[in-house]
Structure 1
Amino acid sequence: MVVWMAEQPLQPGRRYAIKLASTTVDGTVRDIEHRVDVNTLEKGRADQLGLNEIGLCHLVLEKTVAFDRYRDNRTMGAFIIIDRMTHVTVGAGMIRGKTEVGEDSLRPVSAHDRQVRLGHKPAWVVLPEGLDPKRLERNFFDRGYLPVIVNYGLEGDWRAKAEALCHAGLIVLVAGMPVDCTQDDYPENAIFMGNDISAIDNVLSNI
């Protein structure tokens, strides 16, 4: 059972740090079985949990940890959820037991799954000649995004590579694309970066 303590809702599929006693491990909330109305105690369907909402959730951890049910051991049966970027505690929970992994674990990964996990939509960002792509990559990365540089025309089938990375949910920074390129050289939804790196805020508003 999880109590959510942050303004930004809990999103199934997004990676969080889970701290149980002295152990911290990355993990995700696989799904929310139901949300509990704190006034009526009625159970209802939920895709996310908002501030001060309570729900029964299934967590998947990236490493095996020792735990107990909360009713048996309050120390080993309680945990907190930490935002991996801000290191702020965003939730707390009590363990009711272990859930066996079912066939749902074989469900194909969707574009939405990737977006939730990475925290942003995929994007194809075209950089003008003269703008340092590595500096821009660092700027994106430090803001919590996952960018990757693809050099126009210098890496074999660069377009196929860029499309594959974008399909995987990443932000593709296409460097060195000449100003005389045609519409066929980039996708219709491509975002064009200005010559000033300060324009990054305008770019991020579209992602």
Structure 2
Amino acid sequence: MGNLSYDVQVQLLRALQERRIRPVGSTQEIEVDIRLVCATNENLPLAIERGEFREDLYHRINEFTLRMPALHERGRDILLFADFFLQQANEELERHIMGFEPKAVEAMMNYNWPGNLREMKNLVRRATLLAQDDIIRLADLGPSLQTPAATTGLQLHNEDSEKQRILQALEATGGNKSKAAQLLGVDRKTLYNKLKLYGL
């Protein structure tokens, strides 16, 4: 939802308000009775401030909000997902990997997972393919889980500590925002959004 072009936002708002649409290739409008379920990983109030999302559309669709926590906020669920993806990878790649060594488990629990489940699935699949024995070791998980972002605790966990962690990362990198984003385990766009949100 957060990536819709302005023109599409206008069309969607009109369809929701008037409950009428014109199918592609038709000259006639038809009435519709629908329930709309939207999803986004964008901060829509911030997008409204930047002029990237229509405020009237936001209020039209924002009747009921469910916030899905990011993977790094899911605690022990991280291991359930990792085991599920390992089982999938074993079947697809015809491997027989039994699990993860303790260091690998610790790294996965501490990692920020900026790519959420898609990143984890790809990482576990790759590790399953490369594992030299019947267990996935920390080295098999690749460099992203062995960077400072995976072990220093600077990654973003919750809103209460985000500002302090961002300031720590900027100080540690001499104000270099790209390096600070890497240290925090987030992409640059996310960091810039947080900097604007907190007025840093």
Name the TM-score, length of structure 1 as normaliser: 0.25
More contact order relative to length (CA 8 Å, sep ≥ 6): 1
Instruction: Decide which structure has greater strand share.
Output: 1
Name the TM-score, length of structure 2 as normaliser: 0.25
Instruction: Decide which structure has greater helix share.
Output: 2
